Amino acid sequence: MEAGFDGVEIHAAHGYLLDQFLKDGVNDRANDAYGGSLANRCRLALEVVAAVAGEVGAGRVGVRLSPYTEHMDATDSDPDALGGNMARELGRLGVLYLHAVEPRMVRPYERGETRHSLRPMRDAFGGTFVVAGGYTREDGDRAVAGGYADLVAFGRVFLANPDLPRRFQLGAPLNEYDRKTFYTADPVVGYTDYPFLDDLPK
C-alpha cells in the first residue's frame, strides 16, 4: 500500500508454491498439518491470505485460484471439492474478490472441452467473482450478463493491446500477441512495443 497500490492479489494458482500445497498430485506431505486431507492442503494458502488481510484489510485482498489446471504438473484428484472448499473459506475471510481460471484451460494456452464449471465456486464464495481463461469480448459479455461472473480478466490479449478497453468499446480490431516474447528478459519487446490504436496507420 505504501507504494501506492489499492490492493493485493495473492497468486495461489498455476503450479506456483501455494497451488503446490493445495493439490494432492504434488503435495505429498503426510506427517504434518499441511498435507493429506483437503483441509490440511488448503491450510497454508488460507493462512497466507489471513496474514495479508490482517496487514492491509480483507477488503484490499483478492485471490487467484486454478483448481482445474495442470500447470507444472500440479494436478488434483478432485478439483471440484478443492475449488469449493477454497471458495467457501475465502468467503468466510471476507476477501474482496476471488479470481478463478476456467476449467477449460487445463494446460497453458490450451482451451479444451470440460464438464466442469466455475458456477459452484461462485456460489460458494458469495462475493465478487472474476473469471479468466481464453475469453473474447463476446464471451465475457455473456458471462457477466448471465450471472456467471461479475468481472472478466484478460491477460494475453491485454498485453498485446494496451488500449484494450477502448478497442472493446469501439469494436476495433485487436493486435495479435506474440507468444514467443512472453517470457524474455527484454524490457520492451513483447511488453511495451504493441501499438495503440492512435499509432496505427490510417
CA-to-CA distance for 102 and 79, rounded, in angstroms? 12
Distance CA 187, CA 67 (A): 32
Strand bridging mode 61-65 / 8-12: parallel
16 is catalytic: yes
In three-state secondary structure terms, 23 is coil
Contact of 71 with 108, CB cutoff 8 Å: yes
Cell (9 digits) for 69: 489446471
**DSSP code string of 41-85:** HHHHHHHHHHHHHHHH-GGGEEEEE-TT--GGG---S-HHHHHHH
- Single out the catalytic residue among 16, 34, 148, 177: 16
What is the CB-side half-sphere exposure of residue 5 using CA atoms within 13 A? Answer: 9
CA angle 95, 114, 119 (to 5 degrees): 30
Active site residues: 16
